[in-house]
């Protein structure tokens, strides 16, 4: 699966999936300004002097940049989907969702989702590479197969939207989940390619119930929720683990209601509480950012610490495009004196 960077110039027209099953045309794939990069579920990492952006797309879409401002499209991770993916997931046609990229023990570790829209017939796969620089002779993505799977009627959770996190002892975990009973956490083996034998998913957040305030100064009311929570990302800072998630609805273009929320815990397994002390297992979650008049829905964020600066990376649906295309957002993440994240 060795891939080389294409030398085709900005006349190239590449077809991507903008969100879910909605295709979008992306033109001028060289030096695209950040605000014009069509990207769904983005994550960023840096190798040497180059930033790499991984997003939802056929075979997992990849972009590179020298400044995080202008981006050039690379070849995807997979030119054809692994055979296990099409064999296990009915209706899967090679469009991979919500990648997660990290560097550990001399390898770049990429998790990705294999599914179809609205189904929990899903798998999370893992691939690795010793470099992200496609010009190097040792550049090669090696697929390691299925990490975790969910099947309709057997699990009440959905094996998509992966995120790798290590606890204070060095134990690796995979956070994941979308709709159904919510977000989960499972321990991984040392190779990071399988969940530990016999491990059961740990529930960390759910929207089966939703907290609504009954009025100023009054106690919140718990009511039935809409299950709409996904995209977990756990970030360790100081004595806390911070769980970021996206709630309400993505993938509807200008009608999207996506927003980002968070909570924190001293234990990676939870409970994760928001700034008001409400559990994210019962609909809690402090708002990090929501859409505005132009961006109808912001969400699916990752956190990247690059050269000592912490960035929130996410997408927003652009109301200035006909279909509300998802565009790349990168913002510096700040922290309050009492340890809560805020976006400027």
* CATH number reported for the structural domain that contains residue 177 in this entry: 2.115.10.20
Per annotation, catalytic residue among 41, 274, 290, 318 = 41
H or E element at residue 86: helix 83-88
Q: Would you state the pLDDT for residue 179?
A: 95
> What band does 239 get if pLDDT is binned at 50, 70 and 90?
very high
Mean pLDDT calculated for residue range 153-161? 96
- Residue 25 clears pLDDT 50, i.e. is over it: no
Structure tokens at 23: 């295709």
**81/104 Cα distance (integer angstroms):** 24
Q: So what's the pLDDT on residue 220?
A: 59
With respect to residue 306, please indicate whether it lies within any of the assigned structural domains: yes
- Domain enclosing residue 214, as ranges: 13-343
**Known catalytic membership, residue 41:** yes
**Res. 17: pLDDT tops 90:** no
| 204 has pLDDT over 50 | yes
Residue 6 lies in a domain: no
68 falls within a domain: yes
Q: Above 90 in pLDDT, residue 10?
A: no
Domain assignment present for 264 = yes
Structural domains counted in the chain: 1
Residue 230 is a catalytic residue: yes
Of 161, 210, 230, 274, the catalytic one is 230
- 207: in domain: yes
Residue 56 belongs to a domain: yes
pLDDT at position 13 is 34
- C-alpha atoms less than 13 angstroms from C-alpha of 155 in its C-beta half-sphere: 22
Answer yes or no: is 149 within a domain. yes
pTM above 0.85, yes or no: yes
CA 283/CA 61 separation, integer angstroms: 32
Asked whether residue 4 is assigned to any structural domain, the reply reads: no
pLDDT in tens, 318-331: 999 999 999 999 99
């Amino acid at each position: 699966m060795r891939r080389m960077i294409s030398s085709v110039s900005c006349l190239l027209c590449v077809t991507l999936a903008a969100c879910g099953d909605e295709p979008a045309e992306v033109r001028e794939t060289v030096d695209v300004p950040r605000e014009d990069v069509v990207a769904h579920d983005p994550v960023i990492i840096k190798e040497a002097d180059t930033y790499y952006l991984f997003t939802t797309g056929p075979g997992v879409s990849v972009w590179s940049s020298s400044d995080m401002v202008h981006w050039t499209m690379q070849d995807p991770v997979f030119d054809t989907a692994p055979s296990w993916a099409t064999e296990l997931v009915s209706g899967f046609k090679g469009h991979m969702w919500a990648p997660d990229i990290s560097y550990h023990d001399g390898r770049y570790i990429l998790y990705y989702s294999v599914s179809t829209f609205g189904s929990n017939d899903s798998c999370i796969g893992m691939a690795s590479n010793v470099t992200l620089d496609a010009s190097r002779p040792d550049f090669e993505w090696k697929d390691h197969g299925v990490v975790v799977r969910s099947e309709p009627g057997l699990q009440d959770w959905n094996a998509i939207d992966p995120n790798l996190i290590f606890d204070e002892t060095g134990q690796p975990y995979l956070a994941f989940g979308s709709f159904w009973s919510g977000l989960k956490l499972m321990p991984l083996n040392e190779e990071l390619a399988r969940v530990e034998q016999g491990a059961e998913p740990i529930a960390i957040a759910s929207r089966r119930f939703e907290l609504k305030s009954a009025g100023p100064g009054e106690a919140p009311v718990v009511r039935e929720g809409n299950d709409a929570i996904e995209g977990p990302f756990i970030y360790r800072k100081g004595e806390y683990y911070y769980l970021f998630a996206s709630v309400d609805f993505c993938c509807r273009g200008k009608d999207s209601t996506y927003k980002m929320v968070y909570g924190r815990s001293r234990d990676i397994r939870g409970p994760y509480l928001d700034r008001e002390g409400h559990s994210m297992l019962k609909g809690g979650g402090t708002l990090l950012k929501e859409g505005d008049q132009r961006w109808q829905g912001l969400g699916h964020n990752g956190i990247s610490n690059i050269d000592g600066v912490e960035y929130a990376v996410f997408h927003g649906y652009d109301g200035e495009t006909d279909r509300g295309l998802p565009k790349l957002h990168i913002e510096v993440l700040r922290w309050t004196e009492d340890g809560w994240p805020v976006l400027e």
